[in-house]
Amino acid sequence: MPPLLMRQIPLAVLLLSCAAPAVLAQTPSVQTAPATMRYDVPVQPLNASLIAIASRGGVRISIDAELARGVSAAPVQGDFTAEQALRRALQGTQLALLKTDSGVYTVQRAVQAAAQPEATMPEVLITTNYLGQVTEDTGSYTTGAVSTANRLVLSPRETPHAISVVTRQQMDDFGLVQLSEVLNHTPGVYVQHIDSERTIYYARGFSLDNFSYDGLPWTRDASLNLGESLANMDLYDRVEVLKGANALMSGAGTPGATVNLIRKKPTRELRALADLSAGSWSNYRGMVDVGGPLNDSGSVRARAVASYQDKHSFVDRYQRRSELAYGTVEADLSPRTLLTVGADYQHTVPRNSDWGGAPLFDADGKRFTMPRSFNGAPTWSTQQTEAKSVFASLEHRLDNGWMANLRLIHQANALYAPVAYLDSFPKADGSGTAVTARQYNSDATSNGLDVYAKGPFTLLGRTHELVVGANAYRKQSDDVFSPYSFIKVDNIYTYRGEVPEPTWVLDTAREVIRQKAVYATGRFSLPQGVHVILGGRLSSYENPTADIDEASVFTPYAGLTWDFAPDLTAFASYSDIFSPQNSRDVNNRTLDPVLGKNIEAGVKGVFLNGRLNASAAAFEVRQDNYAESVDEVNRVTGMDAYRAIDGVRSRGVELEVSGQLMPGWQLQAGYTHKVARDAGGKVNTLAPEDQLSLYSTWQPMPRLTVGGGARWQSRTWQQTRAVRGGLTTVHQGSYAVFDAMARYQISDRLALSLNFNNLTDRSYYGISTGRRVSYGDPRNAMLSLNYRY
């Protein structure tokens, strides 16, 4: 078959998919009586009850979080249809249940519902988070719906992937204020600290570079600090982490996982939150969060968040100041049209920034150790970042249950980084080391667009769902950098960073990345509780600087779920992987894109009437052209060099449980085992093969919440050059870190919280490079006073 025709087949399939709803909608449907099932839902917050009933009954429900705020549901016990159970839960709440023509349930105030016949209701009031259930104010460690995988708003049980969610409640309970802290709490994600500002994330044996903001795909360069690692979580409702490859939504990317950050939404009623915190090493922080309507009808709503932190550290001389401002406005342009606009600003100013950790070996090839507080940075070293973004979305719902959405985002990131680290091998008298310095500044501008439509259609008497869309992404980086400078250090034992700043000789470079794609996904309902998800993406990716031009790359996707028991679902999924890379070999040639396959299968369950989600998954990722570091440097740039290896396989299992075990008891726990190998043995040994995490809170009495948790990981290691001409193995043994928290509700509006981290004061480090390490925080505490209106 001619190559040109081969390239057109995937595009033709997608175009036919766009026309499918109009044709298939003409197929007559077969009416069946709704089934009854046993419900045992106790008195609890309304939001939790509706999630539990909808999940067990297999129906969709949409409710404004503000309508459910502070409302308790009536108990539902007995045999009912899903609709009967929902109506019973709403008894005595002054709220009414309405069903749309497409079968989606929505909730309104009883007065509003009486004024409009049910048959003429739009599908939903445009007040909910279309990406899934808002976690704020639910008090839960799980969520009712996610859409990171395929734009379909599905429950975690309906999604044929392992997926973890860190909710707003968990972030508040354990004081998680930065992205790296959230991912440290996420089962199956390993956070490796390179230095005081930069981190690298791993999942399933591969680096985690795929990010999304409200589902809009984004990219992250882990080698640079443009503010992502220190991203402030005050503006986010939750973080969804989809494990494995996600080419369908993110396009080009790595197969480890995708992190989707979901922003907080405006509220229909006035609410305010203020938080003041003080902690170890003079760590002070304040935050204000205000939201509410801007007009009498509530059709225009806004939210604003601001926070400030001045943080010192256990590391000598280190200090960081962080600022955040966030604002967003929603406007109901009509009962079916929602406009959202917003902006955020984040600024970090560190002083005495480390760049790559402390030396590991002395001149004799033996381990060289300094106190955890040792800082190898000069007094002028910093990694200042500024991140600004504006975003907008327009959502419109049609009479037939279809919804169209347009989203735009513009982001500008700036980095100012005269940085340095201590290199070479210290001698017994403290001599032999030098400060290796470089200045690197960057101004990066990114623009993203995503447009899609989704909705139901009928085929052979059953209702199915379809998503069709397109997106585009462009990033331009203007970089200013200097050659390396070397400054002698007389004695490492008396060194306090007081070395002269070099006279920088600066050069410039520009990099432009462009990516665009069309995609489609269909979810087909089959008999016996079987659902099949089929999709594909046709992408192009350009990076002229790295001499990358990949056109018409088709990445298929397939998933299957089978509800083989009332509370259990078996699932399987498959996805191709396409990941251009900037890694270069010793001759400065760019390696070919990473290619491979991701296969996953397992079982998911929803227990305790929807309050608890659990999953068990086995996975295998197969890769070719995997970049492996070599014991040489790039002969042109002097940077690390890599070689492409084939046949890399990462295999493993993931177990997770999250949600409410009983009223007042929340839990998120997970275990991950993976092994990544090629023909020569294990690869990517900087990420642990085994990880275990458990975080839980409990209310022993109405005003008191106590909790704790732990994360454990197996050993990590890497071969490196201990002395010139010799190789050795550096390793971090297995370790566990324990945390604890307590919160007392002084009044209905005022609460006092105390968080302890690393209770046992465990000393551990991440192997940032072959000859340097970066230590984790020792034992520390934070006291917070929280006010809610």
How many CB atoms neighbour CB 40 within 10 A?
Answer: 12
* pLDDT greater at residue 98 or residue 741: 741
* Residue 121 clears pLDDT 60, i.e. is over it: no
**What is the per-residue pLDDT for 58?**
66
pLDDT at 227 over 90: no
Longest distance between any two alpha carbons in the chain, whole Å = 87
Report the run of H or E that residue 439 belongs to, with start and end: strand 433-459
The least confident of 20-24, 181-185, 234-238 is: 20-24
Per-residue confidence (pLDDT) for residue 25, from 0 to 100 = 36
CA pair distance 391, 184, nearest whole angstrom: 28
Phi, psi (degrees; rounded to nearest 5) at 664? 90, 0
Res 413 pLDDT > 70: yes
Nearest residue to 598 via CA among 203, 36, 239, 291: 203
Mean pLDDT confidence for 74-87: 84
Q: Which two tokens stand for residue 449?
A: 């667009």
Q: How many CB atoms lie within 10 A of CB 96?
A: 17
User: Which residues have CB under 8 Å from 81's CB, separation 6+?
Assistant: 34, 35, 36, 57
Q: What are the beta bridge partners of residue 163?
A: 242
Q: How far is CA 496 from CA 168, 316, 626, 767, in A?
A: 41, 9, 41, 23
Secondary structure (DSSP) of 282-300? TEEEEEEEEEEESSTTSSE
Cα angle vertex 484, ends 478, 488, to 5°? 150
Q: How far apart are CA 169 and CA 703, in angstroms?
A: 16
Token couple for 300: 């225009």
Q: What is the mean pLDDT of residues 277-283?
A: 97
**Of the listed ranges 42-46, 148-152, 700-704, the one predicted with least confidence:** 42-46
Structure tokens given for 442 = 């960057």
- Rounded CA-CA distance 696/665 in Å is 7
User: Tokens 């395929």 appear where?
Assistant: 150
Q: Which of 321-330, 752-761, 768-777 shows the lowest per-residue confidence on average (mean pLDDT)?
A: 768-777
CA proximity to 776, closest of 194, 284, 182, 172: 194
pLDDT surpasses 80 at 130: no
Under a CB-based contact definition with an 8 Å cutoff, are residues 471 and 247 in contact? no
Q: Over range 470-479, report the average pLDDT.
A: 93
Query: Would you say the C-alpha torsion 574, 179, 172, 753 has a positive or negative sign?
Result: positive
**Separation between Cα atoms, residue 227 and residue 448, nearest integer Å:** 18
SS3 140: coil
Over the Cα atoms of the chain, what is R_g? 27
Helices (H), ranges, 367-469: none
- Exposed, middle or buried by CB within 10 Å (0-12, 13-18, 19+), for 9? exposed
Question: Does position 61 have pLDDT exceeding 50, yes or no?
Answer: yes
Instruction: Report which of 760, 632, 604 is spatially closest to residue 163, judged by C-alpha positions.
Output: 604
Amino acid in position 213: Y
Least reliable range by pLDDT among 153-162, 327-336, 573-582: 573-582
Asked if residue 725 has pLDDT above 90, the reply is no
Decide: helix, strand or coil at residue 734: coil
Gap between the Cα atoms of 460 and 457, Å rounded: 10
Give pTM, 2 decimals: 0.82
Q: Is the pLDDT of residue 646 over 90?
A: no
Contact 66, 109 (CB under 8 A): no
Lowest mean pLDDT among 97-111, 397-411, 474-488, 559-573: 97-111
Query: What stretches of 42-126 show up as alpha helix (H) in DSSP?
Result: 46-57, 65-68, 82-89, 110-114
pLDDT tens digits along 556-607: 999 999 999 988 999 999 988 787 877 888 888 888 787 778 899 999 999 8
pLDDT of residue 509: 92
Q: How confident is the model at residue 322 (pLDDT cuts 50, 70, 90)?
A: very high
- For the cut 50, the answer to whether the pLDDT of residue 126 exceeds it is no
pLDDT at 32 over 60: no
pLDDT: is 55 or 327 the higher one?
327
Per residue in 497-546, pLDDT tens? 999 999 999 999 999 999 999 999 999 999 988 999 999 999 999 988 87
CA distance 199 to 209: 11
pLDDT the model gives residue 313: 94
Please name the amino acid found at residue 505.
V
Mean pLDDT of 355-368: 80
pLDDT band at 220 (very low <50, low <70, confident <90, very high): low
List of domains in the chain? 37-109 (3.55.50.30), 271-788 (2.40.170.20)
Give the burial class of 5: count Cβ atoms within 10 A of its Cβ; 0-12 exposed, 13-18 middle, 19 or more buried. exposed
**Mean pLDDT across the chain, nearest whole number?**
84
Q: What CA–CA distance (Å, rounded) separates 193 from 470?
A: 35
Q: Which phi and psi angles does 296 have, rounded to 5°? A: -65, -40
| Residues with Cβ within 8 Å of residue 214, at least 6 apart in sequence | 131, 260, 261, 262, 263, 391, 393, 407
pLDDT score of 226 more than 80: no
Predicted pLDDT of residue 765:
86
Q: Which two tokens stand for residue 708?
A: 């704790």
Tell me the backbone φ, ψ of residue 433, rounded to 5 degrees.
Answer: -110, 165
Query: Residues in the chain, how many?
Result: 789
pLDDT value of position 134: 81
Phi and psi dihedrals of 365, rounded to 5?
80, 10
